C-alpha cells in the first residue's frame, strides 16, 4: 500500500498548490482527475480542507462585520458536512476494495477507519504547507522563522509516521488481520429533524 499512500500525499500537495495559484475561497475546483475516481475524491477532499482552512482564517479577523461572520460561520458548517460526506465516500471505497478479503478469526478493529486517517493526513499536508510559509516569511524576524522551522520539522516527521501507520492499517485489512466498519457520522446539528432549534422545540 506504500504506492497508494505516496499518491495520496502527492494529490494532497497538488490540491494545495492548485488552490494557492489563486488563493481564492470562491474559486471553482479544477480537478485534473476523472470524476468518480479515487484520485478525484482525494483531490476534492483536500480542496474542501484547504478552502475551509482559509475560511477559518478569515472569520478570525477582529474587524469582520458580524453579519458577514454569521454567513461565514454557516458556510464553514456546510463545509464540515461536505468534508464528512467525502470521508464517508472514501470509506465506502475501502469497504468495496476489501469486500472479498477473508477476515481472520483473531482479527481486530482499528480505532479509526482508513478514510478518517486520510482526513488527518490531508490536514497535515495543509499544516506543512502553511508552516513552511511561516518559516520562510520575508517580513518575519529570525526568531519567528526559527520557531516555525522547528515546528515544520516535527510536522514532516509526523507525516512520515502517519503515512506508515496508514500503510500498515491498509496492509492489515488486506491480509484479514484487521477489519473495518463504516459508521456514518449521524451529525445532528444540520438535521432539521434532530436539531431542537430547527424543529422548533421550546
pLDDT surpasses 60 at 202 = no
pLDDT higher than threshold 70 for residue 75:
yes
Dist. CA 79–CA 87, nearest whole Å: 12
Query: Does residue 201 have a pLDDT over 70?
Result: no
Cβ atoms of 72 and 80 within 8 Å: the answer is no
Assess whether pLDDT exceeds 90 at residue 181. Answer: no
What are the Cα distances from residue 105, in Å, to 59, 71, 182? 50, 51, 20
- Average pLDDT value for residue range 138-144: 96
* Residue 192: pLDDT over 90: no
Q: How does residue 185 score in pLDDT terms, banded at 50, 70 and 90?
A: low
Q: Residue 92: is its pLDDT beyond 90?
A: yes
pLDDT band at 1 (very low <50, low <70, confident <90, very high): confident
User: pTM here?
Assistant: 0.91
Confidence label for 89 from pLDDT (cuts 50, 70 and 90): very high
Q: Is the pLDDT of residue 172 over 70?
A: yes
**Domain limits at 38?**
2-199
Q: What is the mean pLDDT of the chain?
A: 94
Confidence of residue 189 (pLDDT cuts 50, 70, 90): confident
Residue 150: CA count within 13 A, CB half-sphere: 5
Structure confidence at residue 188 (pLDDT): 77
pLDDT tens for residues 16-53?
999 999 999 999 999 999 999 999 999 999 999 999 99
Q: How far apart are CA 194 and CA 176, in angstroms?
A: 37
Q: What is the mean pLDDT of residues 176-194?
A: 80
pLDDT digits (tens, 9 = 90+) for 119-134: 999 999 999 999 999 9
State how many domains the chain has: 1
With residue 49 as reference, give the H or E element that holds it.
helix 38-59
Burial level of 199, CB count in 10 A (0-12/13-18/19+)?
A: exposed
What percent of the chain shows pLDDT beyond 70? 98
Amino acid at each position: 500500500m506504500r504506492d497508494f499512500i505516496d499518491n495520496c500525499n502527492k494529490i494532497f500537495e497538488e490540491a494545495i498548490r492548485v488552490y494557492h495559484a489563486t488563493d481564492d475561497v470562491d474559486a471553482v475546483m479544477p480537478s485534473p482527475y476523472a470524476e468518480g475516481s479515487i484520485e478525484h475524491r482525494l483531490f476534492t477532499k483536500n480542496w474542501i480542507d484547504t478552502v475551509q482552512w482559509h475560511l477559518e482564517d478569515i472569520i478570525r479577523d477582529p474587524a469582520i462585520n458580524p453579519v458577514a461572520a454569521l454567513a461565514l460561520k454557516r458556510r464553514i458548517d456546510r463545509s464540515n458536512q461536505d468534508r464528512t460526506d467525502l470521508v464517508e465516500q472514501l470509506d465506502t471505497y475501502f469497504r468495496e476494495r476489501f469486500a472479498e478479503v477473508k477476515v481472520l478469526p483473531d482479527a481486530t478493529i482499528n480505532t479509526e477507519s482508513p478514510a478518517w486517517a486520510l482526513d488527518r493526513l490531508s490536514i497535515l499536508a495543509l499544516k506543512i504547507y502553511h508552516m513552511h510559509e511561516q518559516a520562510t516569511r520575508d517580513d518575519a524576524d529570525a526568531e519567528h522563522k526559527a520557531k516555525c522551522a522547528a515546528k515544520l520539522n516535527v510536522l514532516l516527521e509526523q507525516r512520515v509516521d502517519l503515512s506508515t501507520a496508514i500503510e500498515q492499517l491498509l496492509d492489515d485489512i488486506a491480509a484479514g488481520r484487521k477489519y473495518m466498519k463504516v459508521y456514518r457520522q449521524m451529525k445532528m446539528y444540520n438535521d432539521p429533524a434532530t436539531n431542537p432549534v430547527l424543529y422548533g422545540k421550546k
